[in-house]
Structure 1
């Protein structure tokens, strides 16, 4: 469809999962076992909090270059990159992952921001040959960990690059190289009728809970919609590691670029998403105090792992967002001391 392209089909509505992760995460044997499997072998998890969007049409690359924060000039078939869709004033509509196939792009979008993302992109279509289409009738499963490729190779021949269809019985599936936890892995977009076959091929791969997955992505410094950012968050507030991976400062114009470059030139934002290493359990929404200011920020995500102990993500005011500095988290059970660090937390 050229010119007045619209969302060609809408995926079957799914329950919102952006608010189901535990508000307070405490040590458990289940998390410890799953975490070790993820970091040392591989695990599988059904990612019900994501939706897939197809972006097709002859003008898709040139048009999308003007809509996202990262640079698509070298985005050819088999490529992958992360980017954000912004409002004209620089707030994050959604953080997305993109893959290029021969005939279209695939975007994974947070379920809670899918409609807003499509509406924002659709609004910028005028005469371009671009088709936005929700991928319905599919499930999204991720296999994460250092042995993810070996596990999936039992079911299919994996793409040589970062994106492509499977082979044999898995040909209808899309296999997308996707490190969602800091340990490497793949995400598979699988038709409903093929899902049982895929699960059978992965029968010996441990299942991972959403809570454990959330810990791993937090260690890796990957923010999550409705937890760590929302429609009021500026992309530059998500921290230097995220900005480096998601924002290009050498590409041409895109929606929201003026605000991004103004902040980049000025050198700082008023708050930043930072990591916390905590001496005890804290909860999402807990207030944070610092020597520099009483209202230093709030906790956005929490986790516990055998490797990192108690950790958290927090939006901190500029005066408190100092790596190595101490802050106090005001939890329901009393004050908890924490050290501020840049993401990623793992490997430091």
Structure 2
């Protein structure tokens, strides 16, 4: 099994790569009240989604701080949330405590599992073995799961399949695809500007500071949910002064979640932000997502990781619309 550090550049991906997403959890919410219940808990508008559709979303505390960010997928009989394993011991109890008076079952999913498919031949495999038309859609309900096309920068798919079907797919792919750890999946999330919360950063930021508004993960018209007042005030009163940026550069070691980002000011360094997610390639090139002041200058700013004083970082363009709110 290959790791990310075997690549010198993100563009050197094989034509077909399989990622077993071992550091990710799939959370299941079932029961007849699942839509109504989650509508009052999450930042997205579930009433606008039908089976097979997906969206980015966040779960927040009463102060509007983000407990977890996830990709939400609607199946016929359940809602699935994908998130890093490290945050589940925080997120799951926080969600369950509000479910006492609702007909819902919330647990780590056991009937389905996730696979990541990457590369120029991933669409061909999906059309041949899963659904001939699925690759034309942003998301699609499959007979035994769902398929979600992931954002820039590389052709890749999140495949959710029932266990027995996933086992068949794994057996087929083991002969056709190169097997990678999910470090490559994390790197592609970083390159696409999509940040997922780990345990070390849970409860630190409002969702706009993680660009959830840019990623269409917040509804400002659906009504009340936990943390909604703070999130709405940040939008309509301009209270949010932070945003998530891609930083790229070089360092001896992989950046760690929670590391401190410093900005060079003359001969001195000032703490300005925190690492949300980081990766490193084989040539010591690093990329990371960090929450920084929203007005950080991408043209004339040099950053470093405080814990790696010799590191050098610069802001790279986000692949989606420029921050403007």
Shorter chain as denominator, the TM-score bin is 0.7 to 0.9
**1:124 and 2:95 equivalent?**
no
**Greater share of strand:** 2
What does 1:60-209 align with in structure 2 at a 5 Å threshold? Answer: 60-136=34-110, 138-157=112-131, 160=134, 162-166=139-143, 173-179=144-150, 182-202=153-173, 203-209=175-181
What CA distance in whole angstroms lies between the structure 2 residues aligned with 1:236 and 1:144? 29
TM-score, with normalisation over the residues of structure 1?
Answer: 0.75
1:219 corresponds in structure 2 to 191
CA distance in 1, matches of 2:305, 2:169: 45
Give the Å deviation of 1:267: 1.9
**Number of residue pairs aligned between Structure 1 and Structure 2:** 309
Indicate whether 1:302 and 2:273 are aligned: no
Q: Tell me, in whole angstroms, the C-alpha distance in 2 between the residues paired with 1:228 and 1:103.
A: 32
2:26 matched residue in structure 1: 52
Contact 1:88–1:256 (CA<8 Å) still a contact in 2?
Answer: yes
Q: How large is the Cα RMSD of the aligned pairs?
A: 3.4
* SS at structure 2 position matched to 1:218: helix
CA contact (8 A) 1:144 1:184 kept: yes
Aligned to 2:130, what secondary structure does the other structure show?
A: coil
CA gap of 1:32–1:80, structure 2 versus 1, over 3 A, is same
- Secondary structure at the aligned position of 2:18 is classed as strand
Using the alignment, how far apart are the partners of 2:166 and 2:177 within structure 1? 15
Please identify, of 146-155 and 197-206, the stretch whose mean Cα deviation from structure 2 is larger: 146-155
Hey, what's the Cα distance between the residues in 1 that align with 2:67 and 2:127? 35
Cα offset, 1:67, TM superposition: 1.1
- Unmatched 5+ residue regions in structure 1? 1-21, 167-172
Write the distance in 2 (CA, Å) between the matches of 1:52 and 1:107: 6
Aligned to 1:232: 204
In structure 2, C-alpha distance between the alignment counterparts of 1:334 and 1:53, rounded to whole Å? 38
Q: Using the alignment, how far apart are the partners of 2:161 and 2:83 within structure 1?
A: 16
Structure 1 residue 246, shift from structure 2 partner: 1.3
8 Å Cα contact 1:327/1:337 also seen in 2: yes
Q: Contact conserved, 1:34 with 1:206, CA < 8 A, in 2? A: no
Task: Indicate how the Cα distance of structure 1 residues 106 and 299 shifts in structure 2: closer, same or farther if over 3 A, else same.
Answer: closer
Q: 1:62 to 1:46 in 2, by over 3 A?
A: same
